[in-house]
Structure 1
Amino acid sequence: MKTINILLLIFALFGCGGMVFSQEPLNQDVRVQREYEPTISDAMKINQMPEREDTLTVKPEFSYSVAGHAMPGVPQVSPLQAARLAPQRPKDLYSSYIRGGMGNYQLLFGDIFYNLTRNEKFAFSIGLQQESSWGELELEDGNRVDAPYHNTLGGLYMRHFFDDKTLELDLDFHRFAYRYYGLQTIDPNGAYDISLNNDIKIEDVNGVLLSPDDKQRQTTFDLHFGLLSQQSDLDDARYHLNFDFGSFNNRTDVGENSFSLGGDLYIPFGALSLKVDGEGIYRKVRATNDDNEFLSLFQFEDREQVYLTLNPRVVFPGNKLKVEVGLNLTGEFSDTEEFYLSPHVRGDLVIAEGVVSTFLGMTGELHQNSYREIMEENPFVSPDVLVKPSFTNIRGFAGVKGNFSSATSFTARLDYEFIEDEYFFVNRFFEQDGSPDTWGMSNLFDVVYDDATLLSLTGEFLIRPDRDLDIILKGVYYGWTLDNYDYAWHKPEMELGIRAGYNYNDEWHFDASFNVIGERKALMQSGEIKNLSSVADFNLGANYQYNKRMHFFARIQNIFAAKFYPWAGYPMQGFNARVGVGYSF
């Protein structure tokens, strides 16, 4: 059945490409803008969807012409005069910046940065950011609970520029501390029956043992070394080598270390080019050694994984049509050996030079789903969950991008993919001892798996009616079809966002955004389904530049005070505001 679906997808994509190719050519300029990603303010992401590879970049072209005129009877030569340049004072550049502010929900935040200025050989910056809140939130049962968090970010960035290469060094530190404050219905003094992954059933377990410590913390440290070639001639070979180390640990004392070595290489061969990227990753999860009674019911396991990836490509460049053909190959070496192979075909066609282009292709991807990534995606997942990889064996895509005029641009895209072992988050439930119809809900999450197909429709539109006003609109529709479950748990049906930024003058800048996330479904006990309502989020912000060194800012978020539950049982902050001041020196 999947083979038939794949064939139908191929014909549908080529049919879509044929319709795009038949459009009438236009004659306007292009404005290329960064994509806008609508988000819900101060709310943890529902899910980080797989990133889509970028499409053809449309470059603006300019032509200059001089009106003809009659030659004089006797040619005259006028001597060239040297241009007189008025002395200009170099623009003030400040190496350091500090910012601080406060808001409701007992919010305090501050940042400090330092960077090296006007240096031809080195680029260097270092920064530290801290944000803390001690606010309370109201759960759906009416109870108010403490929901504090403390977020700390630190980083160092350095580049050394040689004549034909660049040496890279990055250091990053992140610490996120929070509470499991979500709704739970487990009676601490009650008795429950639980089933472990090894099919062992334990009866008459005290409810207090089914909830971990209410505090959690995620700490990460990342190190990156890289070497990047800098060739100005497109006919020269180019490379980018990198070595990365990542360390992760949480308050439950489960840690993960990873090492990776990889890079990419681009070699032109006359009318075609060879592009190869690859990576080797070693990842080890270290389980907690804590054997106290409180953690004895969790399924902590050590795990080692090795991934080897090689993605060769042959590129046929052209002024109008560019074609890329290759393979995606990944080998996983853990308890068993698994190999994942998928084709990679992509074509970019310029329909009207500098106005509109279309793209069409097919590819695949392995999502490794590390322990660290899962906890960052859902901070309230149970700390003993090890998620297995998910494999998009094929994904077809097609779309068009361009502009209507010098003040507007657009992108439209369709993706259809087949995914094996896609994971979804569900609440943990425990059966009350002696009452098979009575369940206790934990405020921790587990994962379930299913094979799925996903249809994604993405559209983006930018309009700049004035040089001081930008308006960006983006919408995404997600159509999930699963083999065993009726819904893709905690996944939205759609996301819609609009953002506007306006420079009133040199001192005042204003921005506004309106975001909508569609309805989602959550799986409850005994197969019951819970609706997580859609949410509309409206935000306003202002910045006042007092002088060259100092500025003041304010922001009001979730003006409608919408109730947003990114995860079942976990509300996010409602109406919130913050003010602050920044100073450069």
Structure 2
Amino acid sequence: MKIKFIIFIFSITLVSSGLSSQERKKDTIDDQVVNVVRPYQPTISDAFKIKDTPKLSDSNTVKKKDVKYNIFSIPVVSTFTPAKGKAANVDKAKPVKLYDNYASLGVGTYTTVLGEVYLNHELNSSENVGGYFSHHSSQGGIENLLLDDDFAKTSINAHYSQKLRDFSWKIDGGFDVQSYNWYGLPQNYFGATEANSIDPGHSFSGFNIGGKLNFEDAIINNGSIRFRRFTDNQDSGENRFIAKTSFDVPIQDEQISTEFYIDYIGGSFDKTYTTDDELRYGNTTFGLSPSYQIKEDDLTVDLGVSLVYLNDNEFDDNKFFIYPNIEASYRLVDEILISYGGIKGGLNQNSYYDFANENPFVSPTLLVTPTDQRYNAYIGLKGKLSNNVSYNIKGNYFAEENKALFKSNDALTFATRDNQYGNSFRVVYDDVTTFSVAGELNIDVNRNFTLGIKGEYFNYSLDNQEEAWNLPDITGSIFMDVQISEKWYAGASAFYVGERKDQLLLVGTLIFPDPTPITLDSYFDANAHLGYKINDQLSVFAKVNNIANQDYQRYLNFPVQGIQALAGATYQFDF
């Protein structure tokens, strides 16, 4: 059917071509009548199948030859028998057993005892209970001292936590006891005669209790409270209560992250440095800090402000402060180069507890008042030089009113107390601006080697005080940890502190003081430790501190212990 149709179409084409090729005799088209009887409709019966098999008529075709293959083999006598195939086994690393508890004890020179115990027990899948105990003491023995220099620090803490479906909570409390000596007697003013009448021992004690709450998928994110009682053996006492919470405030389609806190402090000293009058202090601060975060590609900006209200309970004085709270970061080159900066401020609450922990040789005659950090402007660069090396470079500019500075107390020729011989410290306040440049480099090659280096330079400007008392111009540190083998591990650290300034005056009824700043030399303190893991639970260690055996002074007339060695053991266990 299909072939007939093709022939018909081909015939029509030839006729049309012949007609068009004839010479036209007229320019007009004659009328013609075309009668279509019936369009062609092919049927299946019109088609036919070619039944003949095509044959190749080329006479030059070459017939394919048969190819036969033979192997020339010679029999060889052999006793080799191939073994059956066996899948190779992959050596699996033995899983590391982690223990929830440990106890450590070490003893060393200067009759030093160092002990720690950490306990944590899972009552069930949602409840935990635990505690912590630490003790560090030394019988002293610093050369060329006229007064005792022993010390002891002991602390005990316990906690209980529970995790529920929508929130988790934790409560904890602790007790601390510390004892020290005001052993920094200025021997150019006083000698053995005065030293025999001085009892330089003093101690601190205190307890704290508090708790935390964390919520899941709620407007309130978390909350915490803490109460601390701190006292000494000189009839001084301080109470502090802090409550904090953070929550999100929805505004249209945005969230404003907000923090709110209440900070109360109140305390008293039985006497001032030169009189028998009681010295009292106390205030309450309320703080509110809303902030809003903006993210655009590689740029992140936190815009916020801190509002603080101060109520001075002792002097019945109220103040209101507004501080900036702005941070920004921009990824210049992914994780390789990130620039950041900001400007922040705040009202920093000072306390007797904080002063005594930073400098345990303060006298219980301090003036305690908050520091107004008007702003802290900073800018920096951070990132990675490689997958194993990270860095951070930062510049800071602080402006602080009533910044606390430690300064040596005047030595009194008419001293009636054990801390009036120039062997204790007071706190003075001044408006200080500080410029600093800091750098940090961290190298983490693998789990077996880590290295960190830090350094910072400071420049101070003060309004009233002659010097930035006991503040260094340069600080630096280096830390290193090495896993030598599966059993052996080691580490080292070193600290550098630049020069500091202090001042000591001898005051008497007939002596007119001539103040002269004293420069404390910079010092370098190197330390190292080595440990050996006997088994999964027991390991032994050795430590050496102040390897260079420097007799530097951390504070004026307060030298530190020389080279110190300590050895001990640590045991890990589960209940």
* Shorter-chain TM band: 0.7 to 0.9
Find out whether 1:225 has 2:211 as its counterpart. yes
Letter in 1 for 2:205: T
Partners of 1:348 and 1:238 lie apart in 2 by: 27
Task: Indicate which of 139, 146, 152 corresponds to 1:134.
Answer: 139
Q: Which residue of 369, 386, 402 corresponds with 1:421?
A: 402
Alignment root-mean-square deviation, CA:
2.9
Structure 1 residue aligned with 2:80: none
Closer/same/farther in 2, CA of residues 419 and 296 from structure 1, 3 Å limit: closer
1:562 correspondence with 2:545: no
User: Does the 8 A contact of 1:137 with 1:145 survive in 2?
Assistant: no
Once the 2 structures are TM-superposed, how far is the Cα of residue 431 of structure 1 from its aligned partner? 6.0
Query: Which residue of the other structure, out of 348, 351, 355, is the alignment partner of 2:329?
Result: 348
Q: 1:57: which partner in 2?
A: none
Code of the aligned partner of 2:111: Q
- SS at structure 2 position matched to 1:136: coil
Q: Structure 2: which amino acid aligns with 1:242?
A: S
Distance 1:276 1:213 in 2: 51
Aligned CA distance change for structure 1 residues 273 and 133 (closer, same or farther; 3 Å): same
- What per-residue deviation string (whole Å, max 9, x for no partner) do you get for residues 406-455 of structure 1? 0110011111011111122222225658xxxxxx9521212222211101
Q: Does 2:510 match 1:522?
A: no
SS at match of 1:372: helix
When residues 256 and 85 of structure 1 are mapped into structure 2, their CA distance, relative to the original with a 3 A threshold, is farther
Mapping 1:242-257, distance limit 5 Å: 242-257=224-239
Q: Secondary structure at the match of 2:424?
A: strand
Letter in 1 for 2:541: F
User: Counterpart in 1 of 2:21?
Assistant: none
Q: What corresponds to 1:391 in structure 2?
A: 372
Q: 2:465 aligns with which of 474, 485, 504?
A: 485
Structure 1 contact 308–330 (Cα < 8 Å) conserved: yes
Change (3 A) 1:512 1:287: closer
Q: Structure 1 residue aligned with 2:482, among 502, 510, 528?
A: 502
Flag the 1:269–1:429 CA change in 2: closer, same or farther, 3 A. Answer: same
Identical columns (%): 25
Q: Which residue of 2 aligns with 1:111?
A: 116
Q: Relative to 1, partners in 2 of residues 1:575 and 1:90: Cα closer, same or farther, differing over 3 Å?
A: closer
Structure 1 283/212 Cα, relative in aligned 2: closer, same or farther at 3 Å? farther
In the TM superposition, 1:415-454 aligns within 5 A as: 415-430=396-411, 432=413, 441-454=421-434
Deviation at 1:213, TM superposition (A): 4.6
SS of structure 2 residue aligned to 1:376 = helix
Tell which structure's C-alpha radius of gyration is larger.
2
Match of 2:200 in 1: 214
* 3-state DSSP of counterpart to 2:436: strand
Q: Secondary structure at the match of 1:146?
A: coil
Shift of 1:405: 0.7
Q: Deviation at 1:527?
A: 2.2
Out of 346, 364, 367, the position equivalent to 2:345 is 364
Structure 2 unaligned segments of length 5 or more: list them.
Answer: 1-88, 415-419, 506-513
Q: Matches of residues 142-161 of structure 1 in structure 2 within 5 Å?
A: 142-161=144-163
Correspondence for 1:538: 526
User: Which runs of structure 2 are paired with 1:328-347 in the superposition (5 Å)?
Assistant: 328-334=306-312, 335=315, 336-347=317-328
What's the CA shift string for 1:234-284, capped at 9, x where partnerless? xx7451111111110111121111122221113566774311111112222
Are 1:411 and 2:397 an aligned pair?
no
How far off is 1:223 after superposition?
1.1
SS at match of 2:279: coil
Q: Match for 2:425: what amino acid?
A: F
Change (3 A) 1:466 1:282: closer
Check whether the contact 2:412–2:421 (CA below 8 A) recurs between aligned residues: no
Q: Taking structure 1 as reference, are residues 270 and 428 closer, same or farther at Cα in structure 2, changes over 3 Å only? A: same
Deviation for aligned residue 1:285: 0.8
For 1:303, which of 258, 269, 281 is the aligned residue?
A: 281
Mapped to 2, the partners of 1:272 and 1:319 lie a distance apart of 18
Deviation at 1:349, TM superposition (A): 1.2
Aligned to 1:194: none
Q: Distance in 1 between matches of 2:565 and 2:233?
A: 30
For structure 1, which runs of at least 5 residues remain unmatched after alignment?
1-83, 191-206, 434-439
Question: What's the secondary structure of 1:302's corresponding residue?
Answer: strand
CA offsets 1:287-306 (integer angstroms, 9 cap, x no match): 44xx9xx9983443233311
Aligned to 1:548: 536
For residues 483 and 250 of structure 2, the distance between their equivalents in structure 1, rounded to whole angstroms, comes to: 45
- Distance (Å, rounded) in 1 between the aligned partners of 2:447 and 2:334: 24
Paired residue type of 2:215: S
CA distance in structure 2 between the partners assigned to 1:497 and 1:368 by the alignment: 28
**Residue from 211, 221, 241 that aligns with 1:239:** 221
- How many residues align? The count is 468
SS at match of 2:550: coil
Alignment partners' CA distance in 1, 2:282 and 2:445: 55
Cα separation, partners in 2 of 1:187 and 1:503, compared to 1, 3 Å: closer
Shift of 1:144: 4.8
Task: Tell me if structure 1 keeps the 8 A contact 2:148–2:200.
Answer: no
How far apart, in 2, do the equivalents of 1:430 and 1:567 lie? 15
CA offsets 1:80-102 (integer angstroms, 9 cap, x no match): xxxx9999998644444222110
**Which residue of structure 2 lines up, in the alignment, with residue 174 of structure 1?**
176
TM-score by length of 1: 0.74
Aligned to 2:165: 163
- Which amino acid is the alignment partner of residue 569 of structure 2? V
Q: 1:276 to 1:305 in 2, by over 3 A?
A: same
Report the Cα distance in structure 1 between the residues aligned to 2:130 and 2:168, rounded to whole angstroms.
16
Contact in 1 for aligned 2:112/2:137 (Cα 8 Å): yes
Secondary structure in structure 2 of the residue aligned to 1:373: helix
Cα pair 1:374 1:387 within 8 Å, conserved: no
- Counterpart selection for 1:476 from 456, 459, 463: 456
CA deviations over 1:361-381 (Å, ceiling 9, x no partner): 111121211122122222111
Equivalent pair of 1:136/1:144 in contact (CA under 8 Å): no
Q: In the aligned structure 2, how far is the partner of 1:460 from the partner of 1:88?
A: 35
1:471 and 1:89 map into 2 onto residues whose CA distance is 27
Distance 1:472 1:179 in 2: 35
TM-score in terms of structure 2 length: 0.76
Q: In the alignment, does 2:559 pair up with 1:571?
A: yes
Structure 1 equivalent of residue 32 of structure 2 = none
Of the three residues 124, 129, 133, the one matched with 1:124 is 129
Q: Helix, strand or coil: the match of 1:176?
A: strand
The answer (yes or no) to whether the contact 1:300–1:384 under 8 Å persists in 2 is no
* CA 1:519–1:86: 2 relative to 1, 3 Å: closer
Partner SS for 1:379: coil
Between the aligned partners of 1:230 and 1:397, the Cα distance in structure 2 is 34
Q: State how far apart, in whole Å, the 2-side matches of 1:173 and 1:454 are.
A: 36
Distance 2:98 2:474 in 1: 43
* Amino acid across the alignment from 2:520: L
Residue 462 of structure 1: how far off its partner (Å): 1.1
In structure 2, what is the Cα distance between the partners aligned to 1:560 and 1:228? 48
Residue 158 of structure 1 deviates from its aligned partner by: 2.6
Distance 1:90 1:462 in 2: 28
Tell me the alpha carbon deviations over residues 84-122 of structure 1, each in whole angstroms, 9 at most, x when there is no partner.
999999864444422211000111222222211494312
Residue identity opposite 1:451 in structure 2:
D
